Amino acid sequence: MRQSWTLAAAAAASLLALGACAPEAPAPASAAAPPAASATDVVARGKYLANIMDCAGCHRPGALTGQARPDTPLSGSQEGFEIPGFGVVYPPNLTPHETGLGAWTEEQIITAVTKGERPDGRILAPIMPSHAYANLTPDDARALAAYLKSLPPVEHKVPGPTTPEQAKTPYLTMKVPAA
């Protein structure tokens, strides 16, 4: 009995050795846990997400008039959107300046992005695509918030929500042709 165990063990060992030598053998899976993402990796992931989710398509100065300014990405737009029944809203400054998200925690940013709710409880106009961003994984939402917090702060206050009559800067509006 003892003999056959030894033989079996030897056979298994030589099979393993063969496997290890075979050129097409898959790389052995590492038993070690993957290293935790560093803060730089998280910010890089957030930057990648902000790019493909096109935050700058609305939140970059000049973006809505086809004259996007390259120097101050995500510092907000002086041009807004008129949302029927809601008023005129402007994509705010997302940099960590006090005229932007400087006083917001990462948690508050995540709630605004994924649930469309500001820290003061106001629900954002649906032109801010929170309904789509609600599907972010918790890790990606955190990465996005960390990236916004890492931006150089830019002083730029955009107009607050207003009415078409009181709007002082341009806004995009939708005309529904008469039937």
Specify whether the CB–CB gap between 125 and 89 falls below 8 A: yes
d(CA 7, CA 57): 68
Q: Least distance to ligand HEC from the beta carbon of 176, Å?
A: 19
Distance between CA 176 and CA 179 in Å, rounded?
9
Choice between 6 and 51, CB closer to ligand HEC: 51
Piece of 9-17, 22-30, 35-43, 107-115 that binds ligand HEC (CB under 6 A): 107-115
Contact between 42 and ligand HEC by CB under 6 A: the answer reads no
CB of 39 to ligand HEC, least distance (A): 19
Hey, what amino acid is at 107? E
Torsion (CA) 73, 79, 81, 82 in degrees, nearest 10: 160
The 49-68 contact track toward ligand HEC, x by CB under 6 A, reads -x--xxx-xxx---------
Q: Where are the alpha helices (H) located in 22-122, listed in sequence order?
A: 39-52, 56-59, 106-115
Q: Is 13 in a helix, a strand, or coil?
A: helix
- Options 16-24, 27-35, 65-73, 117-125: segment touching ligand HEC (CB under 6 A): 117-125
**Interface positions with ligand HEC (CB under 6 A):** 50, 53-55, 57-59, 81, 89, 91-92, 94, 109, 112-113, 118, 124-125, 127-129, 133, 144, 161
